[in-house]
Amino acid sequence: MNRRILFVLGVVFVVLITITYIQSHPAAVPTPTQVVFPFSIGRDLNMTMLDIQGIRLRDPQLDKSFIISRDSSGNWTAPENEGSLDTNIASNIAKTVVLMPYNQSVALEANPDLTQYGFQPNGSLLVDIILNRTSDGHVYAVGGLSPDRLEYYVLVDDKPQVFLIQRGAVDYLKSQLTKPPLT
């Protein structure tokens, strides 16, 4: 009987030691993966969000625009609008302009017919960007949707190609132009 109790106590002791060891050495927690787009317009232009002084979103067909710019303290403002600007959304607009993810681009030939890309003659959205470090700027001209309706055709500055930009980024910018983030 004493041997049986001694054996059971030994097994319980080993189980407790095992549980203590497992609890004191937690399993490795996998690090969250960061979504990285294969290509982005901002990376191609060597532009970061902090480089941007101002952004103007324009609808060339409706002649409507919305401007955000940084004040002397670096805070986002909407200089042409009354009401206060939601600065978080303004930052998201700048992030979207820098990221503008694309998976591919199409080389343009000399004097291309841009109507096949949804430019008739203008696109559906123009994004003007002014940089603070050089006072240079960039222009994104958004055309129509691709045949699968997952991407927009976008011209950047005078680059000889059309970029296929993921639809979510352009739709977000269009929604901010339609309903500016003002309170």
Q: What pLDDT digit, counting tens, does each position of 35-94 carry?
A: 445 688 888 888 888 889 999 999 988 889 999 999 888 899 998 887 788 999 999 999
* Domains by residue range for the chain, with CATH: 39-178 (2.60.40)
DSSP labels for the chain? -HHHHHHHHHHHHHHHHHHHHHHHSPPPPPPPPPP--SEEHHHHTT--GGGEEEEEEEETTTTEEEEEEE-TTS-EE-TTSSS-B-HHHHHHHHHHHHH-EEEEEEEPPSS--GGGGT-SSS-SEEEEEEETTTS-EEEEEEEEE-TTSSEEEEEETT-SEEEEEEHHHHHHHHHHHHS-SB-
- Check pLDDT > 60 for residue 32: no
CA-based diameter of the chain, in Å?
99
* pLDDT value at 136 more than 80: yes
pTM assigned to the model: 0.76
**The predicted structure's pLDDT at residue 28:** 54
pLDDT digits (tens, 9 = 90+) for 146-179: 999 999 999 999 999 999 999 999 999 999 999 9
Separation of alpha carbons 79 and 26, rounded Å:
53
Cα–Cα distance, 135 to 113 (Å, whole number)? 31
